[in-house]
A and B are shown apart, each in its own frame.
Chain A
Protein backbone atom coordinates (compact mmCIF):
# COMPACT_ATOMS: atom_id res chain seq x y z
CA UNK A 1 0.00 0.00 0.00
CA UNK A 2 2.71 2.44 0.98
CA UNK A 3 4.53 1.57 -2.23
CA UNK A 4 1.45 2.32 -4.32
CA UNK A 5 0.95 5.61 -2.52
CA UNK A 6 4.56 6.47 -3.26
CA UNK A 7 4.16 5.64 -6.97
CA UNK A 8 0.96 7.68 -7.18
CA UNK A 9 2.49 10.69 -5.41
CA UNK A 10 5.57 10.49 -7.63
CA UNK A 11 3.22 10.56 -10.63
CA UNK A 12 1.48 13.71 -9.41
CA UNK A 13 4.85 15.28 -8.73
CA UNK A 14 5.85 14.55 -12.32
CA UNK A 15 2.62 16.14 -13.57
CA UNK A 16 3.23 19.23 -11.45
CA UNK A 17 6.85 19.43 -12.60
CA UNK A 18 5.77 19.19 -16.24
CA UNK A 19 3.11 21.84 -15.76
CA UNK A 20 5.42 24.21 -13.89
CA UNK A 21 8.12 23.94 -16.54
CA UNK A 22 5.70 25.57 -19.02
CA UNK A 23 5.34 28.60 -16.80
CA UNK A 24 8.49 30.59 -17.61
CA UNK A 25 7.47 30.77 -21.28
CA UNK A 26 3.74 30.94 -20.74
CA UNK A 27 3.10 34.71 -20.84
CA UNK A 28 5.18 35.34 -23.95
CA UNK A 29 4.65 32.31 -26.12
CA UNK A 30 1.91 29.99 -24.92
CA UNK A 31 2.16 27.58 -27.81
CA UNK A 32 3.55 24.10 -28.15
CA UNK A 33 6.95 24.19 -29.72
CA UNK A 34 9.37 21.33 -30.21
CA UNK A 35 10.93 22.23 -26.85
CA UNK A 36 7.62 21.86 -25.01
CA UNK A 37 6.93 18.36 -26.24
CA UNK A 38 8.89 16.52 -23.50
CA UNK A 39 6.75 18.29 -20.88
CA UNK A 40 3.60 16.74 -22.29
CA UNK A 41 5.25 13.31 -22.28
CA UNK A 42 6.41 13.82 -18.69
CA UNK A 43 2.91 14.83 -17.60
CA UNK A 44 1.37 11.84 -19.38
CA UNK A 45 3.88 9.57 -17.66
CA UNK A 46 3.04 11.15 -14.30
CA UNK A 47 -0.70 10.70 -14.86
CA UNK A 48 -0.01 7.08 -15.78
CA UNK A 49 1.88 6.52 -12.52
CA UNK A 50 -0.93 8.12 -10.54
CA UNK A 51 -3.41 5.83 -12.28
CA UNK A 52 -1.24 2.76 -11.70
CA UNK A 53 -0.81 3.60 -8.01
CA UNK A 54 -4.53 4.22 -7.58
CA UNK A 55 -5.65 1.03 -9.34
CA UNK A 56 -3.16 -1.23 -7.56
CA UNK A 57 -3.62 0.47 -4.19
CA UNK A 58 -7.41 0.19 -4.31
CA UNK A 59 -7.18 -3.41 -5.50
CA UNK A 60 -4.81 -4.62 -2.82
CA UNK A 61 -5.03 -2.07 0.01
CA UNK A 62 -7.26 -2.04 3.07
CA UNK A 63 -7.05 1.47 4.50
CA UNK A 64 -10.00 3.62 3.42
CA UNK A 65 -8.11 6.82 4.02
CA UNK A 66 -5.30 5.67 1.75
CA UNK A 67 -7.78 4.72 -0.97
CA UNK A 68 -9.46 8.10 -0.74
CA UNK A 69 -6.06 9.75 -0.94
CA UNK A 70 -5.20 7.71 -4.02
CA UNK A 71 -8.43 8.72 -5.76
CA UNK A 72 -7.89 12.36 -4.87
CA UNK A 73 -4.31 12.12 -6.10
CA UNK A 74 -5.41 10.57 -9.38
CA UNK A 75 -7.99 13.30 -9.85
CA UNK A 76 -5.36 15.96 -9.27
CA UNK A 77 -2.94 14.36 -11.73
CA UNK A 78 -5.62 13.91 -14.39
CA UNK A 79 -6.82 17.51 -14.07
CA UNK A 80 -3.25 18.79 -14.11
CA UNK A 81 -2.09 16.79 -17.12
CA UNK A 82 -5.33 17.12 -19.06
CA UNK A 83 -5.69 20.82 -18.31
CA UNK A 84 -2.14 21.69 -19.31
CA UNK A 85 -2.32 19.63 -22.48
CA UNK A 86 -5.59 21.31 -23.46
CA UNK A 87 -4.17 24.73 -22.64
CA UNK A 88 -1.02 24.19 -24.67
CA UNK A 89 -2.54 22.39 -27.65
CA UNK A 90 -5.81 24.28 -27.99
CA UNK A 91 -6.46 27.25 -25.72
CA UNK A 92 -3.14 28.96 -26.38
CA UNK A 93 -3.89 29.11 -30.11
CA UNK A 94 -7.10 31.05 -29.67
CA UNK A 95 -7.49 34.61 -30.85
CA UNK A 96 -10.04 37.28 -29.90
CA UNK A 97 -13.04 37.75 -32.22
CA UNK A 98 -11.99 39.62 -35.36
CA UNK A 99 -12.71 43.26 -36.07
CA UNK A 100 -15.06 43.54 -39.04
CA UNK A 101 -13.85 45.83 -41.80
CA UNK A 102 -16.52 47.04 -44.25
CA UNK A 103 -14.26 48.67 -46.80
CA UNK A 104 -10.53 48.64 -47.36
CA UNK A 105 -8.77 51.38 -45.40
CA UNK A 106 -6.15 53.47 -47.09
CA UNK A 107 -2.85 51.59 -47.14
CA UNK A 108 0.54 51.96 -48.78
CA UNK A 109 3.06 49.18 -49.27
CA UNK A 110 5.85 48.26 -51.65
CA UNK A 111 5.73 44.94 -53.46
CA UNK A 112 8.57 42.60 -54.46
CA UNK A 113 9.24 44.56 -57.69
CA UNK A 114 9.38 47.91 -55.93
CA UNK A 115 5.93 49.02 -57.11
CA UNK A 116 3.85 51.07 -54.71
CA UNK A 117 0.66 49.23 -53.79
CA UNK A 118 -2.18 51.14 -52.18
CA UNK A 119 -5.94 51.01 -51.81
CA UNK A 120 -6.44 53.29 -54.82
CA UNK A 121 -4.07 51.45 -57.18
CA UNK A 122 -5.87 48.18 -56.45
CA UNK A 123 -9.27 49.60 -57.38
CA UNK A 124 -11.04 48.43 -60.54
CA UNK A 125 -10.51 44.71 -60.15
CA UNK A 126 -11.48 42.37 -57.35
CA UNK A 127 -8.58 41.11 -55.28
CA UNK A 128 -7.70 38.94 -52.32
CA UNK A 129 -5.61 40.38 -49.50
CA UNK A 130 -3.83 37.74 -47.43
CA UNK A 131 -2.12 38.51 -44.13
CA UNK A 132 0.45 35.79 -43.71
CA UNK A 133 2.55 35.62 -40.57
CA UNK A 134 5.51 33.62 -41.80
CA UNK A 135 5.73 31.52 -38.66
CA UNK A 136 1.90 31.19 -38.75
Chain B
Protein backbone atom coordinates (compact mmCIF):
# COMPACT_ATOMS: atom_id res chain seq x y z
CA UNK B 1 0.00 0.00 0.00
CA UNK B 2 2.80 2.37 0.95
CA UNK B 3 4.66 1.43 -2.21
CA UNK B 4 1.59 2.23 -4.32
CA UNK B 5 1.19 5.56 -2.58
CA UNK B 6 4.86 6.38 -2.93
CA UNK B 7 4.94 5.55 -6.63
CA UNK B 8 1.70 7.40 -7.33
CA UNK B 9 3.24 10.51 -5.76
CA UNK B 10 6.66 9.95 -7.25
CA UNK B 11 8.29 9.56 -3.84
CA UNK B 12 11.46 7.51 -3.56
CA UNK B 13 13.43 6.66 -0.46
CA UNK B 14 17.19 6.27 -0.40
CA UNK B 15 18.92 4.96 2.70
CA UNK B 16 22.60 5.84 2.81
CA UNK B 17 25.32 5.35 5.39
CA UNK B 18 28.13 7.85 5.94
CA UNK B 19 30.68 5.96 8.03
CA UNK B 20 33.55 8.30 7.08
CA UNK B 21 31.57 11.42 8.10
CA UNK B 22 32.43 13.09 4.78
CA UNK B 23 28.87 14.14 3.95
CA UNK B 24 28.18 14.88 7.60
CA UNK B 25 31.13 17.30 7.58
CA UNK B 26 30.15 18.77 4.20
CA UNK B 27 26.83 19.77 5.74
CA UNK B 28 28.46 20.81 9.02
CA UNK B 29 26.28 18.52 11.13
CA UNK B 30 28.97 16.62 13.03
CA UNK B 31 28.19 16.02 16.72
CA UNK B 32 31.68 15.43 18.07
CA UNK B 33 30.61 14.24 21.54
CA UNK B 34 27.57 12.31 20.36
CA UNK B 35 29.12 8.97 21.15
CA UNK B 36 32.15 8.20 23.26
CA UNK B 37 33.76 5.88 20.72
CA UNK B 38 33.18 7.92 17.57
CA UNK B 39 31.43 11.12 16.53
CA UNK B 40 28.10 10.97 14.68
CA UNK B 41 25.72 13.43 13.06
CA UNK B 42 23.49 15.73 15.02
CA UNK B 43 19.82 15.27 14.13
CA UNK B 44 19.25 17.41 11.05
CA UNK B 45 16.69 17.71 8.28
CA UNK B 46 17.27 19.65 5.07
CA UNK B 47 14.45 20.57 2.70
CA UNK B 48 16.05 20.96 -0.72
CA UNK B 49 14.54 22.61 -3.79
CA UNK B 50 14.78 21.10 -7.26
CA UNK B 51 17.73 23.38 -8.11
CA UNK B 52 19.77 22.18 -5.14
CA UNK B 53 19.33 25.21 -2.89
CA UNK B 54 18.30 24.64 0.69
CA UNK B 55 14.80 26.01 1.27
CA UNK B 56 14.70 25.21 4.95
CA UNK B 57 16.63 23.23 7.51
CA UNK B 58 15.89 22.06 11.00
CA UNK B 59 18.71 21.27 13.41
CA UNK B 60 17.43 21.20 16.99
CA UNK B 61 19.82 22.60 19.61
CA UNK B 62 18.65 19.91 22.00
CA UNK B 63 18.84 16.47 20.50
CA UNK B 64 16.02 15.09 22.60
CA UNK B 65 13.66 17.29 20.61
CA UNK B 66 12.30 15.71 17.48
CA UNK B 67 10.62 17.49 14.60
CA UNK B 68 6.92 18.07 15.03
CA UNK B 69 4.43 17.46 12.23
CA UNK B 70 4.02 21.19 11.77
CA UNK B 71 7.79 21.65 11.30
CA UNK B 72 7.72 19.11 8.48
CA UNK B 73 4.68 20.71 6.85
CA UNK B 74 6.31 24.15 7.12
CA UNK B 75 9.44 22.73 5.51
CA UNK B 76 7.47 21.29 2.60
CA UNK B 77 5.56 24.54 2.18
CA UNK B 78 8.81 26.53 2.00
CA UNK B 79 10.36 24.05 -0.40
CA UNK B 80 7.47 23.99 -2.85
CA UNK B 81 6.78 27.74 -2.70
Contacts and interface: CB of A to CB of B under 8 A. Distances in A.
Contacts of B29: 98-99, 131
Q: Which of A95, A117, A126: most chain B CB closer than 10 A?
A: A95
Contacts of A134: 40
Contacts of B27: 99, 101, 105, 107, 129, 131
A25 to B, nearest CB: 8
Nearest to B51: A123
B18 A105 contact: no
A31 B17 CA distance: 24
A34 interface: no
A102 interface: yes
Contact of B48 (A29, A93, A99, A126): A126
B68 interface: no
23 contacts: A29-B35, A30-B33, A90-B62, A93-B62, A101-B28, A101-B46, A103-B52, A103-B53, A104-B54, A107-B22, A107-B23, A107-B26, A109-B17, A117-B14, A123-B51, A126-B49, A126-B79, A127-B48, A129-B45, A130-B44, A130-B46, A133-B34, A135-B34
Contacts of A101: 27-28, 46, 54, 57
A104 B36 CA distance: 29
A117 to B, nearest CB: 5
A131 B45 contact: yes
A117 B52 contact: no
Interface string A73-115: 0000000000000000010011111111111111111111001
B16 A99 contact: no
Nearest to A99: B28
B23 A128 contact: no
A109 B23 contact: yes
A64 interface: no
A105 B22 CA distance: 11
